[in-house]
Amino acid sequence: MKNALHAEWTKLRTIPSNAWLLLAAAALTVVIGATAGAAVKCPTGNCTEDPAKISLTGIYLSQAVVAVVAVMAVSGEYGTGMIRLTLAAMPHRLTVLAAKAAIVTGPVLATGAVAVLGSLLAGRLILPGNGIGPAHGYPSLSLSDGPVLRAACGSVLYLALIALLSIGVAAAVREAAAAIGVVLGLLYLFPILSAALGNTSASRHIQEIGPMTAGMNIEATVGLSGLPMSPWAGLGVLTAWACGALITGGLVLRLRDA
């Protein structure tokens, strides 16, 4: 396992686009979160806004960048044919997949931590000036506040789970464009279907099973009783999706020729 981890780390860090994409994901999260915070106004202080969720709006888009990085860690080798050399050097295929998952998840966790902290800091500076702050009864965007800490840590875990989901899909599908399409479809199709159905029980069920619609509940710090499910339960749904994708990808990797 040690050799597999070293090999996968070498591959990941020697491709410059990976670092740039992760940097872009962090920047995108902060910029979009700050833009959303600047756009939301509540002069009277009687709105039902969630400061943490507003600040973390950027994750809706940056998760797509994380998905691309994770997919390319697997599909990139199939595209170049390098996967044959990898499997010849390390014939234990599940070990190779586990090493890829571990090596990709590490930088994604670091990127997510930077992005989330930057987003919350931007929200802490911007939102009170728009009437969304402690002076109007809103929770302070501080990690000392339990719900905010949960939203912050959960959002970092959310991005890591998106990476694992993407790795599993890529191992099963292999072709990069198709794998990216499948992952983005899984993430963004459920919210579209839910919105199309309106405020119905079917819409609520879709939100409960969708990887993004369920997982994003972890960001909520107010109005928890109105959510389709609790924040941690929602993240559990995303975890189930990631585990299912990794198991499927592992089986395909083990049973099919490279």
Per-residue pLDDT at 244 = 96
Q: Is 54 exposed, middle or buried (0-12, 13-18, 19+ CB in 10 A)?
A: buried
DSSP string, the chain: -HHHHHHHHHHHHT-HHHHHHHHHHHHHHHHHHHHHHHH---TTS-----HHHHHTTTHHHHHHHHHHHHHHHHHHHHHHTHHHHHHHH---HHHHHHHHHHHHHHHHHHHHHHHHHHHHHHHHHHGGGGT-SGGGTPPP--TTSHHHHHHHHHHHHHHHHHHHHHHHHHHHH-SHHHHHHHHHHHHHHHHHHHHHH-SSHHHHHHHHHSHHHHHGGGG--S-GGGSSS-HHHHHHHHHHHHHHHHHHHHHHHHHS--
Higher pLDDT, 82 or 65: 65
> Percent of the chain scored above 90 by pLDDT?
50
Predicted local distance difference test score (pLDDT) of residue 178: 94
Distance of CA 138 to the CA centre of its chain: 26
Q: Where are the domains of the chain?
A: 2-255
Residue 194, number of CB atoms within 10 A of its CB: 21
* Amino acid residing at 231: P
pLDDT at 258: 60
User: Tens of pLDDT along 1-25?
Assistant: 776 677 677 777 788 888 999 999 9
Q: What is the tens place of the pLDDT at every residue in 209-250?
A: 889 999 999 999 888 877 888 999 999 999 999 999 999 999
> For residue 121, what pLDDT band results from cuts at 50, 70 and 90?
very high
Q: Of 30-34, 120-124, 130-134, where does mean pLDDT reach its minimum?
A: 130-134
pLDDT tens by residue, 127-186: 888 888 787 777 778 888 889 999 999 999 999 999 999 999 999 998 889 999 999 999
Q: Identify the CA nearest to 70 among candidates 176, 179, 166, 175.
A: 166
Encoded amino acid at 128, one letter: P
User: Which pLDDT band, with edges at 50, 70 and 90, does 118 fall under?
Assistant: very high
Rounded to 5 degrees, what are φ and ψ at 98?
Answer: -65, -40
pLDDT tens for residues 242-251? 999 999 999 9
Taking all residues of the chain, what is their mean pLDDT, rounded to a whole number? Answer: 88
Confidence band of 96 (pLDDT split at 50, 70, 90)? confident
**pLDDT of 200 over the 80 cut:** no
Asked whether the predicted pLDDT for residue 84 surpasses 70, the reply is: yes
The Cα 62–Cα 31 span in angstroms is: 11
CA distance 241 to 256: 22
Contact 62, 25 (CB under 8 A): yes
Q: Is residue 51 within 8 Å of 127, Cβ to Cβ?
A: yes
